[in-house]
Amino acid sequence: MNVLFVARNVFRRLRHDLLTVFMIGTIPLIFILLFGYAFSGSPTDVRVIVVDHDRGTITLNTREFGQITLQKSLSSELIKGFRKKVFHTRWMDDEIQARNELKDGKVWAVIVIQPGFSQGVIDRVLQIKGGMPYTYQGQTIHLLPRSEAAPGPGITLSIDRSNVPVADTVVATVERALNNLMFAYIGGKTVDFSSLLKVDYIYAG
């Protein structure tokens, strides 16, 4: 009986407090909508800046001609692998300006493709495969691993970590594009590209 008495008094008071009734009815709905938006699907149109320092100059050791030099931009192939619906991409030449925009919260990430990226990818491929055939000047030659190859980070990702789903999406998208690029040259082998990718997190603002 005491419970019914208390409940009756509460409802009697609520009839005269429309603001409280409104808040009781709407605030839970607002939170449901906010959490549903936050955890539904993957982020899209993530603002990123790409700074491409790679010039596509690759030095190769061959069985037939000794050492040769080619111009082949693998950074362009990598960028084509970025999913357009995920990234809203801008290009810059000035790495400092790009990082300043990241610190100011204007973009979510800066993707810096380092000088020698193309060389590093090919060196890593040849280390894994131990050599591979290649068409050069109309004939098939055999590429050999370089003993002096020392691939360092070919890509540096600087990411605003204040939004974890967005940060994780940036990393996953770049890793997928790099994996697809390596897979195109290596085939069905498991690819370890950790030596080519470096990730730095910041908190903008």
Verify that 14 and 114 share a domain, yes or no: no
Number of domain units in the chain: 2
Structural domain of residue 111, as residue ranges?
A: 46-202
Is 173 found in the same domain as 90? yes
152 and 176, same domain (yes or no): yes
The answer to whether residues 26 and 127 belong to one domain is no
> Is 21 in the same domain as 110?
no
Q: 133: which residues sit within 8 A by CB, 6+ positions away?
A: 140, 141, 142, 143
Q: What is the CATH number of the domain that holds 148?
A: 3.40.1710
Residue 60: is its pLDDT beyond 60?
A: yes
- Give the whole-number percent of the chain exceeding pLDDT 90: 41
| 100 and 174 assigned to the same domain | yes
One domain, residues 55 and 24: no
Task: Give pTM, 2 decimals.
Answer: 0.74
pLDDT digits (tens, 9 = 90+) for 92-139: 999 999 999 999 999 999 999 999 899 988 888 888 888 889 888 889
Same domain, 119 and 73: yes
- Mapped onto helix, strand or coil, the DSSP state of residue 164 is helix
Same-domain check for residues 194 and 94: yes
Angle, CA 50 vertex, CA 125 and CA 72 arms, to 5°: 40
- Do 79 and 31 share a structural domain? no
